[in-house]
Amino acid sequence: MKPGRQKSDSCTSFLESGNPAFMAAIDGEADETTLEYLRTHPEYAHEIERMRELQTRLRIRLFRLFCPSSDMLRDYQLGLLTEEQHQAIAEHVALCPHCAAELGLLTTCS
């Protein structure tokens, strides 16, 4: 809290507090010290819940948006795609742990 602020300003969004540990609470990565602080400062609970809901809504719309279908991964694994498709999927798999794991499953089952 900045000097001179009224007590009611303690409810100022924790986003403005600049404390990265509060963000960790949204993803379940907060340490015990942060969790204990949040338990003793319930005014932050609403803000955390609001951010968590925003994050969930974003994930619902964006989760694995660019991942190829399992059919494409299957044909990629066998080399049945065009060169352009193959390259695009190779670049994606290098980045996406989910597709990399699924490709591993296809390779194992082969």
Partner 1 sequence: MQQSRVIAPAPTGNVQAYHTYETPLQYMELSVLMKHCSAESERFYRGQEHDTRYSYELFRRALVERDEAAWEQLYQHYTGLVEGWVRRNSAFISSGESSEYFVVGAFTKFWRAVTPERFSSFPSLASLLHYLQLCATSVVIDSVRAQSWAEIVPEDMVGADIMSQHSPDEEAMNRVQREEFWHFIDTQLHDEIERVVVYFSFVLGLAPRAIFSRRSDLFTSVNDVYNVKRNVLGRLGRNAQLRQMMAS
Q: What is the CB neighbour count within 10 angstroms for residue 92? A: 17
Looking at residue 27, the DSSP 8-state letter turns out to be: T
Q: How far is CA 16 from the centre of its chain?
A: 21
C-alpha closest to that of 20 among 11, 12, 30, 10: 30
Cβ proximity of 60 and 73 under 8 Å: no
Contact region for partner 1 (CB under 8 A) — 3-11, 16-24, 38-46, 81-89? 16-24
Among 9, 29, 31, 36, binds partner 1 (CB under 8 A): 29
* Residue list 44-83, contact with partner 1 (CB under 8 A): 50-51, 54-66, 70-71, 73-75, 77-78, 80
Binding interface with partner 1 (CB under 8 A): 13, 15, 18, 20-24, 27-29, 50-51, 54-66, 70-71, 73-75, 77-78, 80, 95-98, 102, 105-106, 109-110
